[in-house]
Amino acid sequence: MTLAPDEQKAPVPEGHVRLTIDGREVIAPKGEILIRTCERLGIIVPRFCDHPLLDPAGACRQCLVEVELGGRPMPKPQASCTMTVADGMVVRTQHTSPVAAKAQAGVMELLLINHPLDCPICDKGGECPLQNQAMTTGRADSRFLEKKRTFPKPLAISTQVLLDRERCVLCQRCTRFSEEIAGDPFIDLLERGAQQQIGTAADKPFQSYFSGNTIQICPVGALTSAAYRFRSRPFDLKSTPGVAEFDSSGSAIRVDTRRGVVMRRLAGNDPEVNEEWLDDRSRFAFRYLTSAGRITRPMVRREDGELHETSWTDALAVAAKGLLAAKEAAGIGVLAGGRLTVEDAYAYAKFARVAAGTNDVDFRARPHSAEELDFLAAHVVGTTPDHLSFTKLEAAPTVLCVALEPEEEAPIVYLRLRKAARKRGQRVYHLGQWTTPAVERTSQSLGSAAPAAKDNLIPAVPGAEAAVLRDLPADVVAALSEPGAVILVGERAAEVSGLYSAVSVVAASTGATIGWIPRRAGERGALDAGAAPNLLPGGRLVTDAAARAEIEKAWGLPAGSIPATVGRDTDEILAAAAIGDLSALVVGGLDPNDLADPAAALDGLREVGFLVSLEMHTSAVTELADVVLPVAPDAQRAGSYLNWEGRLRSWEPALDPSGVLPDCRVLDTLAVEMDADLFTQTPAAAAGELARLGTVERKAAPPTVEAGVPSVPGFGQAVLATWRQLLDASSMSVDEPALAGTARPALLRVNAATAERLGLTEGAPATVRTERGSITLPVELADLPDGVVWLPGNAENSRVRATLGAGHGDLVGVSA
Amino acid sequence: MTDPLTPVLTRNWRAERSWSLAAYEQAGGYRALRHALTAHPDQIIALVKDSGLRGRGGAGFPTGMKWSFIPQGPDGPGAKPKYLVVNADEGEPGTCKDIPTMMADPHSLIEGCIITCYAIRANFCAIYVRGEALHPIRRVRHAVEEAYAKGYLGKDILGSGFDLDIVVHAGAGAYICGEETALLDSLEGKRGQPRLKPPFPATSGLYASPTVVNNVETIASVPHIVAGGSEWFRSMGTEQSPGPKIYSISGHVERPGQYEAPLGITLRELLDMAGGMKDGIPLKFWTPGGSSTPLFTAEHLDVPLDFEGAAAAGSMLGTTAVQVFNETVSVPWAVMKWTEFYKHESCGKCTPCREGTYWLVQILERMVHGQGTEEDIDTMLDICDNILGRSFCALGDGATSPITSAIKYFRHEFLDLIAAQPAVARPEQLAELSGASA
Amino acid sequence: MTAPEGSSPFDEVTRQRTKEIIARYPQPRSALLPLLHLVQSVEGHVSQEGIRYCAEALDLTTAEVSAVATFYTMYKRTPCGEHLVSVCTNTLCAALGGDAIFERIAEKLGEDGKPLGHEETAGEPGTPGSITIERAECLAACDFAPVIQVNYEYFDNQTVESAEQLVDALRRGEKPAPTRGAPLTDFRTAELELAGFHPDLAASVEGPSAAPETLRGVELAAERGWAAPALPDEMPAFPALPEKS
A673 with A760, same domain?
no
A617, exposed or middle or buried, with CB in 10 Å at 0-12, 13-18, 19+?
Answer: middle
Chain mean position to CA A328: 42
Task: For an interface test with A, give the residue of B176, B195, B358 to mutate (most A CBs within 10 A).
Answer: B358
Contact C74 B19 (CB under 8 A): no
What does the pLDDT look like over A386-436, one tens digit per residue?
A: 999 999 999 999 999 999 999 999 999 999 999 999 999 999 999 999 999
B347 with B261, same domain?
no
Q: How far is B216 from B199, CA to CA, in rounded Å? A: 24
Judged by DSSP in three states, A262 sits in: strand
**Mean pLDDT, residues B238-254:** 97
Asked whether the predicted pLDDT for residue C19 surpasses 50, the reply is yes
Q: How confident is the model at residue A19 (pLDDT cuts 50, 70, 90)?
A: very high
* pLDDT of res. A6: 52
Q: From its phi and psi, is residue B173 left (phi > 0), alpha (psi between -120 and 50) or beta? A: left
C44: domain range? 12-69
* Cis peptide bond N-terminal to A462, omega within 30: no
Which residues lie below 8 Å from residue A705, measured CB to CB, with a gap of 6+?
Answer: A371, A466, A497, A498, A500, A501
A543 with A657, same domain?
yes
* pLDDT of res. C2: 41
Residue B338 lies in a domain: yes
Contact C48 A203 (CB under 8 A): yes
Better pLDDT: A449 or C236: C236
Q: How far is B375 from chain A (nearest CA, A)?
A: 10
**Mean pLDDT, residues C71-77:** 98
Contact C63 A781 (CB under 8 A): no
What number of other Cβ atoms are within 10 A of residue A235's Cβ? 8
Q: How far is B140 from B132, CA to CA, in rounded Å? A: 14
Q: How far is C220 from chain A (nearest CA, A)?
A: 43
* pLDDT of res. A730: 84
* pLDDT of res. B427: 44
- Supply the CATH number for residue B262's domain: 3.10.20.600
Q: How confident is the model at residue B437 (pLDDT cuts 50, 70, 90)?
A: very low
What's the domain count of chain B?
3
In the listed set C138, C172, C187, which residue is the last one of a domain according to the structure?
C187
B80: which chain A residues are within 8 Å (Cβ-Cβ)?
448
Name the nearest CA neighbour of B211 among B219, B199, B203, B222.
B203
Q: Fill in the DSSP letter of residue A493.
A: G
Asked whether the predicted pLDDT for residue C1 surpasses 50, the reply is no
What does the pLDDT look like over A67-123, one tens digit per residue?
A: 999 999 999 999 999 999 999 999 999 999 999 999 999 999 999 999 999 999 999
Contact B386 A110 (CB under 8 A): yes
Whether A744 and A207 have beta carbons less than 8 Å apart is answered as yes
Give the neighbours of chain B: at least 3 Cβ pairs within 8 Å.
A, C
Q: What's the 3-state SS for B9-58?
A: CCHHHHCCCCCCHHHHHHCCCCHHHHHHCCCCHHHHHHHHHHHCCECCCC
- Burial A375-394, CB ≥16 within 10 A → b, else e: bbbbbbbbbebeebbbebbb
Question: Does residue A148 belong to the interface with chain B, where contact is any CB pair within 8 Å?
Answer: no
Residue C226 lies in a domain: no
What does the pLDDT look like over A759-769, one tens digit per residue?
A: 999 999 999 99
What does the pLDDT look like over C20-29, one tens digit per residue?
A: 999 999 999 9
Sign of torsion, CA A737 A739 A740 A742?
Answer: positive
A601: domain range? 317-366+523-678
What's the domain count of chain C?
2
Name the nearest CA neighbour of A363 among A589, A598, A640.
A589
Chain mean position to CA A492: 16
In the listed set A110, A131, A149, which residue is the last one of a domain according to the structure?
A110
Contact B168 C96 (CB under 8 A): no
A362 with A382, same domain?
no
Residue B145 lies in a domain: yes
Contact C65 A201 (CB under 8 A): yes
B129 with B153, same domain?
yes
Q: How far is B60 from B50, CA to CA, in rounded Å? A: 15
Give the neighbours of chain C: at least 3 Cβ pairs within 8 Å.
A, B
* pLDDT of res. B432: 53
A316-330, A738-752, B411-425, C221-235: lowest mean pLDDT where?
A: B411-425
The pair phi, psi for residue A738, each rounded to 5°, is -65, -40
Residue A213 lies in a domain: no
C59 with C114, same domain?
no
A154-158, A319-323, B82-86: lowest mean pLDDT where?
A: A154-158
Beta strand A486-490 with A513-517 is parallel
Judged by DSSP in three states, C22 sits in: helix
In the listed set C43, C69, C95, which residue is the last one of a domain according to the structure?
C69
Cα-Cα-Cα-Cα torsion A517, A523, A524, A528, nearest 10 degrees, comes to -150
Helices (H), B236-293: 267-273
Nearest Cβ partner for B355 among A102, A111, A448: A111
Q: How far is A76 from chain B (nearest CA, A)?
A: 5
Q: How far is A725 from A148, CA to CA, in rounded Å? A: 44
Residue C154 lies in a domain: yes
The radius of gyration computed from the CA coordinates of chain A, to the nearest angstrom, equals: 29
B168: which chain C residues are within 8 Å (Cβ-Cβ)?
196
What does the pLDDT look like over A646-682, one tens digit per residue?
A: 999 999 999 999 989 999 999 999 999 999 999 999 9
Contact B94 C138 (CB under 8 A): yes
What's the domain count of chain A?
4
Q: Which residues pair with A300 in a beta bridge?
A: A308, A627
Q: How confident is the model at residue A140 (pLDDT cuts 50, 70, 90)?
A: confident
Residue B239 lies in a domain: no
Q: How far is B267 from chain C (nearest CA, A)?
A: 14
B281 with B226, same domain?
no
The pair phi, psi for residue A636, each rounded to 5°, is -115, 25
Q: How far is A158 from chain B (nearest CA, A)?
A: 24
What does the pLDDT look like over A45-57, one tens digit per residue?
A: 999 999 999 999 9
- Quick one: chain C helix, strand, coil %, rounded to 5? 40, 10, 50
Binding residues of C for [2Fe-2S] cluster: 88, 93, 138, 142
A751 with A605, same domain?
no
- Supply the CATH number for residue C165's domain: 3.40.30.10
A603 with A498, same domain?
no
Beta strand A261-267 with A811-815 is unpaired
In the listed set B326, B345, B374, which residue is the last one of a domain according to the structure?
B326
Whether A249 and A644 have beta carbons less than 8 Å apart is answered as yes
Q: Which residues pair with A355 in a beta bridge?
A: none
Q: How far is B213 from B203, CA to CA, in rounded Å? A: 12
Q: How confident is the model at residue C244 (pLDDT cuts 50, 70, 90)?
A: low
A725-734, B91-100, B212-221: lowest mean pLDDT where?
A: A725-734
Contact B436 C100 (CB under 8 A): yes
Cα-Cα-Cα-Cα torsion A245, A247, A253, A258, nearest 10 degrees, comes to -40
* pLDDT of res. B425: 37
Q: How far is A733 from A731, CA to CA, in rounded Å? A: 6
Name the nearest CA neighbour of A563 among A331, A323, A324, A363.
A331
Could you write out the DSSP letters of every residue in C192-223? HHHTT--TTHHHHTTS--S-HHHHHHHHHHHH
Asked whether the predicted pLDDT for residue B333 surpasses 70, the reply is yes
A638 with A784, same domain?
no
Task: For an interface test with B, give the residue of C218, C219, C226, C233 to mutate (most B CBs within 10 A).
Answer: C218
Task: For an interface test with A, give the residue of C48, C51, C61 to mutate (most A CBs within 10 A).
Answer: C61
- Supply the CATH number for residue A103's domain: 3.10.20.740
B279 with B147, same domain?
no
- What is the count of residue pairs from B and C with beta carbons less than 8 Å apart? 309
What does the pLDDT look like over B59-73, one tens digit per residue?
A: 999 999 999 999 999
Which residues lie below 8 Å from residue A638, measured CB to CB, with a gap of 6+?
Answer: A650, A651, A652, A653, A657, A682, A683, A684
**Mean pLDDT, residues A127-150:** 93
B352: which chain A residues are within 8 Å (Cβ-Cβ)?
61, 106-107, 110
Q: How confident is the model at residue A458 (pLDDT cuts 50, 70, 90)?
A: very high
**Mean pLDDT, residues A497-526:** 98
Q: How far is B267 from chain A (nearest CA, A)?
A: 30
- Supply the CATH number for residue C35's domain: 1.10.10
A538 with A612, same domain?
yes
Beta strand B83-88 with B124-129 is parallel
Q: Fill in the DSSP letter of residue A225.
A: E
How many helices (H) and strands (E) chain A has is answered by 27, 38
Residue B266 lies in a domain: yes
Asked whether the predicted pLDDT for residue C151 surpasses 80, the reply is yes
* pLDDT of res. C8: 83
B359: which chain A residues are within 8 Å (Cβ-Cβ)?
110, 113, 144, 146
Question: Does residue A186 belong to the interface with chain C, where contact is any CB pair within 8 Å?
Answer: yes
B345: which chain A residues are within 8 Å (Cβ-Cβ)?
192-193
A361 with A411, same domain?
no
What number of other Cβ atoms are within 10 A of residue A715's Cβ? 7
B96 with B226, same domain?
yes
What does the pLDDT look like over A596-631, one tens digit per residue?
A: 999 999 999 999 999 999 999 999 999 999 999 999
Residue C208 lies in a domain: no
A626 with A733, same domain?
no
What does the pLDDT look like over B73-88, one tens digit per residue?
A: 998 889 999 999 999 9
In the listed set A614, A649, A678, which residue is the last one of a domain according to the structure?
A678
Task: For an interface test with B, give the residue of A47, A50, A61, A195 to mutate (most B CBs within 10 A).
Answer: A61
Question: Does residue B431 belong to the interface with chain C, where contact is any CB pair within 8 Å?
Answer: yes
Could you write out the DSSP letters of every residue in A199-214? EEBTTB----TTTHHH
Residue C230 lies in a domain: no
B275: domain range? 244-326
C182 with C89, same domain?
yes
B77 with B51, same domain?
yes
Residue A132 lies in a domain: no
Nearest Cβ partner for C91 among B130, B249, B338: B338
Residue B2 lies in a domain: no
Contact C154 B135 (CB under 8 A): yes
Q: How far is A215 from A230, CA to CA, in rounded Å? A: 14
B303 with B279, same domain?
yes
In the listed set A110, A137, A172, which residue is the last one of a domain according to the structure?
A110
- Burial A123-142, CB ≥16 within 10 A → b, else e: bbbeebbbbebbeebbeeee
Residue C133 lies in a domain: yes
Whether A17 and A85 have beta carbons less than 8 Å apart is answered as yes
Q: How far is A553 from A487, CA to CA, in rounded Å? A: 38
Name the nearest CA neighbour of A384 among A227, A191, A539, A512.
A539
- Report the residue of chain C nearest B92, measured CA to CA: C138
Residue C199 lies in a domain: no
Amino acid, single-letter form, for residue B427: P
In the listed set B273, B295, B326, which residue is the last one of a domain according to the structure?
B326
B116 with B199, same domain?
yes
What does the pLDDT look like over C101-123, one tens digit per residue?
A: 999 999 999 999 899 999 999 99
Residue B3 lies in a domain: no
Residue C225 lies in a domain: no
* Cis peptide bond N-terminal to B199, omega within 30: yes
Contact C67 A192 (CB under 8 A): no
Q: Quick one: which H or E segment has residue A65? A: strand A64-69
A450 with A505, same domain?
yes
C141 with C167, same domain?
yes
* pLDDT of res. B422: 37
Please give the model's pTM, rounded to 2 decimal places: 0.95
Asked whether the predicted pLDDT for residue B436 surpasses 60, the reply is no
In the listed set B206, B234, B262, which residue is the last one of a domain according to the structure?
B234
A60: which chain B residues are within 8 Å (Cβ-Cβ)?
350-351
Contact A110 B196 (CB under 8 A): no
A323 with A385, same domain?
no
Residue A618 lies in a domain: yes
C76: which chain A residues are within 8 Å (Cβ-Cβ)?
none
What residues 749-768 of chain A have any CB closer than 8 A to a CB of chain C? 762
A61 with A102, same domain?
yes
Q: How far is A511 from A397, CA to CA, in rounded Å? A: 13
Residue A354 lies in a domain: yes
B435: which chain C residues are within 8 Å (Cβ-Cβ)?
95
Asked whether the predicted pLDDT for residue C126 surpasses 90, the reply is no
C150 with C108, same domain?
yes
Contact B191 C194 (CB under 8 A): no
Residue A183 lies in a domain: no
Q: How far is A679 from A670, CA to CA, in rounded Å? A: 12
Q: How far is A522 from A363, CA to CA, in rounded Å? A: 8
Contact B351 A107 (CB under 8 A): yes
Asked whether the predicted pLDDT for residue B423 surpasses 90, the reply is no
**Share above pLDDT 70 across residues of chain C, in percent, rounded to a whole number:** 95
C27 with C112, same domain?
no
Contact A76 B348 (CB under 8 A): no
Asked whether the predicted pLDDT for residue A280 surpasses 80, the reply is yes
* pLDDT of res. A448: 59
B205 with B75, same domain?
yes
Name the nearest CA neighbour of C2 among A764, A786, A453.
A764
Nearest Cβ partner for B348 among A57, A147, A170: A170
B216 with B318, same domain?
no
Residue C104 lies in a domain: yes
B19 with B47, same domain?
yes
C119 with C169, same domain?
yes
Beta strand A155-156 with A161-163 is antiparallel
